[in-house]
Every structure is written in C-alpha cells, then in structure tokens.
Amino acid sequence: MKRLYFVNGFVLLSLLAGCAARDSLLVPERTQGNATPVIVQVYAAPEIRPGDTWKVYLIAHDPDGDMRNIHASIRQPGMASHPGAFLRIAEANRERLAGYVYLNTLGIQGLNFTTLTLSIEIEDRAGYFSPPAVFPLSFNSGARQQPPPPPGLFPEKDLGPIMIILKALPDGGDPNSGEYED
C-alpha cells in the first residue's frame, strides 16, 4: 500500500513539474527591464529597380539596454507571406541601435511592377516587441537610384541582411486575379 502511495505521489509530482516547465516556455521570463524598445526614426526609398539592394535605415532605443533581435517580415500581394527573418543585435547596440538593414534582390527575375510591404520590429531580452515600422516598396525598372537618407541623420552602419528570398508571380500573374495565395 505504501508503495502505491509512493508511485502515485511520484507521478503527481512529475505531472506538476512538467506543467510548470511547459508554462515557463509559453511565457517569457521577465528578468530584464519593463521598458519596451521603440523604433525612433526610419527611412527607406519607396521604389527601387529590380536587382538593386534596398537599404532600410532605422534608429531604435531601449531604456533598459536589453535589445536582442530585429524581426523582419514581408507581405507580398499574390503570394503567401514570407517567413520572418531574425537579425541578432550586437552586444554594443543593446541600448541604442542605428544603421541599416538591407534586402538583396539581385538575380530575382520578374519583380518589375511588384509591390511588397516590409515590417520591422525590435525584440528585447524580456520578450517585449517595439511597435512595427512598416515600409512599402515598389519595383520599377525605370526607377532612379535609391536616394540617400537625409545627411547626418543615419550612420552608414550595416546591421545585417534581411534573409528573405522574394519570388515573382508566376508568368507575370495579376495578384488581384484570385489565382494565387494571398
């Protein structure tokens, strides 16, 4: 009988420990500060030529100094949403981040007259996210070279690539035709 109580007690403790561990995975532990990162200033050209590299400049701040990742996602009409990309923030940039992320479109055929929307958020170590900064982009083979940001506002510091591979609509398809996923 004592053995049965021991086994039941052991099983009950194991279940409780498993539930506690599972719950801790669902909610990030807030061991860092309570301040949310904020994207303070942004700049990106609204139009580029297919094959160009698109630079997206940003300045972000976190009073707690615990910024961890830059999250980027792309929404392209006529296509399913592209999976998000994560860029790790260097230890030296945990309180203030300034520079650019970039999207390389070299070698991708059929992007002319395509539009997309890039969304960028900053995540800190406590699991808080900044409000997203949203950037529309149109591809046009007749576009001029990307204009630089206003002088002295953003440093020419490479924060990393947006590792999302764009795809052109098949056969120059119309994103409004309903033939493709959205």
Domain boundaries, the chain: 1-30, 38-172
Q: Give the pLDDT confidence score for residue 122 in this predicted structure.
A: 96
Q: Give the pLDDT confidence score for residue 27 in this predicted structure.
A: 44
Q: Answer yes or no: is pLDDT of 10 > 70.
A: no
**Percent of the chain whose predicted confidence (pLDDT) is above 70:** 72
- Residue 25's pLDDT band (cuts 50, 70, 90): very low
Q: Give the pLDDT confidence score for residue 110 in this predicted structure.
A: 83
- Residue 48's pLDDT band (cuts 50, 70, 90): very high
- Separation CA 174–CA 182 (nearest Å): 12
Mean pLDDT of 141-165: 88
Q: Give the pLDDT confidence score for residue 111 in this predicted structure.
A: 86
- Residue 42's pLDDT band (cuts 50, 70, 90): very high
Q: Answer yes or no: is pLDDT of 88 > 60.
A: yes
Top-level CATH class of 38-172? mainly beta
112-122 pLDDT, tens digit per residue, is 888 899 999 99
118-143 pLDDT, tens digit per residue, is 999 999 999 999 999 999 999 999 88
